[in-house]
Amino acid sequence: MADTNTVARLAGIGTFTELLDVLAGLRAEHAPARILCTLDDVGQCLYTSGHATEDDRLWFDDGDPGDDPAARRRADDARVAHVAAALDDTKLRVAWDELPGARLGGEADVAALVEVNRNPDGFLDDVVLVQRVPVPRDDLAVAGIPNGYFTADWDVFQNHTIIRRMATHGYRHVGIGASLLGFDRPAAPSLDEAQAVVADLKHLFGAPDAAGWAELTALLPQRRLLLLGYTENFPDLVDDLA
């Protein structure tokens, strides 16, 4: 369990098809709250999330509610609301145009991006935690597991900017791991829509001449799912699976 808002611990979920079906059921069960799940490396994801919320812009004092379940739930809900309010504060938001070429790995990042979208099921952890996130919009679901801690990672506010941008392409944020952001769409994008997504990803990852962009453009119209790496060591995730 991550906190009192953990509504499911899924063991043995082997595919994103299975996972998205489970999330749909939990989304209906817990509406109007949003649903967000962990993806790769649940332990590391929760560890870095804890540190990410030490950011002065996000810090929240829960007043030590102790072991009382009702008090703990109120504190957990209040923390989510505090993080969501910070993300929704226009004075704190990061502009999309402030994120060009923000990754450091160049073609290696693009190659990793292609691989995680070609073989997404290989990057799901053996255990997936699902969080109920009491926020009014899908883009604020990241307040349930805010992440982005190390210096060369995208931080929580940068990730929120990316989440909002992907929403303009029809993608809803559904999961976050130690290295990955996960999105789904009601249906796979058309080729024209995929090209628009890839244009934005070039803006994010740089390396515009990398061969992998053509591969990704061809992959996206075949699936509802989109995975993006947000950490400096994102390509290591692919190397570790090889």
Q: Which of 174, 150, 180 is nearest to 40 (CA)?
A: 180
Total domains, the chain: 1
How would you classify the pairing of strands 172-176 and 34-38? parallel
The verdict on residue 1 lying in a domain is no
Residues in the chain: 242
In a domain, 229, yes or no: yes
Per-residue pLDDT of the chain (242 residues; tens, 9 = 90+): 889 999 999 998 989 999 999 999 999 999 999 999 999 999 999 999 999 999 999 998 877 777 788 888 888 899 999 999 999 999 999 999 988 665 667 888 999 999 999 999 999 999 999 999 999 999 999 999 999 988 888 999 999 999 999 999 999 999 999 999 999 999 999 999 999 999 999 999 989 999 999 999 999 999 999 999 999 888 888 877 65
Q: 55 and 156 in contact (C-beta within 8 Å)?
A: yes
pTM beyond cutoff 0.75? yes
- Residue 56 belongs to domain spanning: 6-241
Instruction: Give residue for tokens 């829509």.
Output: 193
